[in-house]
Structure formats: structure tokens, C-alpha cells
Amino acid sequence: MTTDAAELGEIQETLLIPLYGRATETRKPDGLLHDAKAVEMVKAIDYDFARFDGGRSLLGVVLRTSMIDAWVQDFLDEHPQGTVVEIGAGLNTRFERVDNGTLHWIDLDLPDAMNLRSKFFTESDRRHMVAASVLEKTWIDIVKAFPAPYFLIAEGVLIYLDEPDVRRALTLITANFPGAHLVLDTSGRWIIDHQDRHDAMQKVTARMRWACDDPRELERWHTGLRTLESHDLSQLPDRIRPRVPLSRRTMLRAVSAIFRQRFGRYKVNLYRIESPAN
């Protein structure tokens, strides 16, 4: 089967970068993750993935993915029948990596991305696919039909929105899921201003728009978010660090020291949604 990716929108095209990152990592003898499904999809999709070869960002998206996987697993250790919501699911295979046999899962993305996703994934009684924007209210009731507590992930999503839309999305999420956990990534102003030099972003049309130099700033937006953890890609959580070969950890430390503005201004963040009154 060959599937054409040409019908993806500009932002949705970026979902192919982490897909290729996972497939590339899987082929390495010391890979941080094994994702046979990603390899299968890269082979099946008619797209010039080779344009991303050699870029450091491929390792970056794998590190980000591994970090979020660990947080999801922590959540499922405490709430094995809880519900995970993947906002901007793209062609992510996180369900396959963390499924414990009892969790519930919602994949949410725009219609064109969901149309591509539906060629490779199927729904079940514990897994549902929703074609909608994070800015719409239609997906909220669908998620609430699944059992609490909730763990929501917006990986590589909000950074492509203008700040007013980021605020709208976060207001919608926090108003409807108090007590839930939320993961999202942030890019600082320097990264936004220099993205034309980024090894992957210079190969696509989409542009990151939302600049956030301090992830704790979201706490001051009165949405009830409280920062639990925030890491750049050289500051790996304890649970992830032993899985990264020493040679790569050394390389990350060296690169982060040289390119501090890049590493220090891109972060992956874990929040808890509390009452805005708190």
C-alpha cells in the first residue's frame, strides 16, 4: 500500500518529522525506542522523508517522545483505567508503546491528518479517533464520555498557533478537565525568530508562531495550570537518562553548551490543571 501525503495542510505536514524520527531511531542498534509501525508507515507514505536526514532535530523529537511516554506511563501506573487524550495525534504510536490493556485513549487531530491516520489505525472499545480542532468544543463531550482521570498531550501542536489561540485552547481544556495533567512543549522567542535555520523547519512551509520563554508564564494566565516539571532536551528526567547511551548524553551536553539559546529555550512541560481560584 502506498499513501499520498500531499493532501496534508502546512501545519499537518510537520507530523511527518516525528514519524520519520521514530522510524530512523528504530533502525539504530542503540535506538531509544522501537517503533516498527513508524517504519511501516514511512515505507507506505509517498513523501520525500530524506529531506530530514542528518538533522539533529530527529534525535530531539525522539527524546521529546520518550520523555512524554515516561510521564504517560507514570500516570497509568496510578490510574490504569484512566483516559489519555492525544491532541494533534498525527501518526503517533504512543498507544502502541504504553497500552496496558485497560487504559482508554482519544486521538484528536484535524480532518486531513485523521484521514491519513485512519489508513493505518483502527478504533476499538478503548480507543477512539476524533477529527476536530483543539479550538472547537465538539471534542470535549466525546472525551468526557470516557472515564476520568485524564491525561492530555499537545505535543508539537500549540507552538504553531498564535498566542490568542493558545490562550483559547488552554482555557477550553482547563475549564473542562480540572484535576487532569497536561503536557505541552514551548519554544522561546529566539527559536521562533531563527526557525528558518532549523534543520527540519527550513524544509517545510509551516511556521512556529507562539513564543514562550518561560513555561511558568502559563500559571499567570489564570487558567489554573501548575507546573510540575519542565525540561529542555539536555536535561532529561531521571527515568529517561539511563536509557540514553553515554555517548549521546555527552553529545547532548556538549551541543547544549555550545547552542544554549536553542536548547535552553525549547522545553517539554508537564502541568496539573487546578482551579483558577488557586
Pairing type for strands 225-231 and 266-273 reads: antiparallel
Band the pLDDT of 278: cuts 50, 70, 90.
very low
User: How far apart, in whole angstroms, are the C-alpha atoms of residue 123 and residue 118?
Assistant: 9
Mean pLDDT of the chain: 90
Tell me what pLDDT residue 60 has: 86
Burial of 157 (0-12, 13-18, 19+ CB in 10 A): buried
- Per CATH, the number for 59-273 is 3.40.50.150
Tell me what pLDDT residue 59 has: 85
Question: Residue 214 forms beta bridges with which residues?
Answer: none
Kindly state the average pLDDT of the residues 2-22. 87
User: Residue 15: CB partners within 8 Å, gap ≥ 6?
Assistant: 8, 88, 90, 91, 92, 109, 113, 156
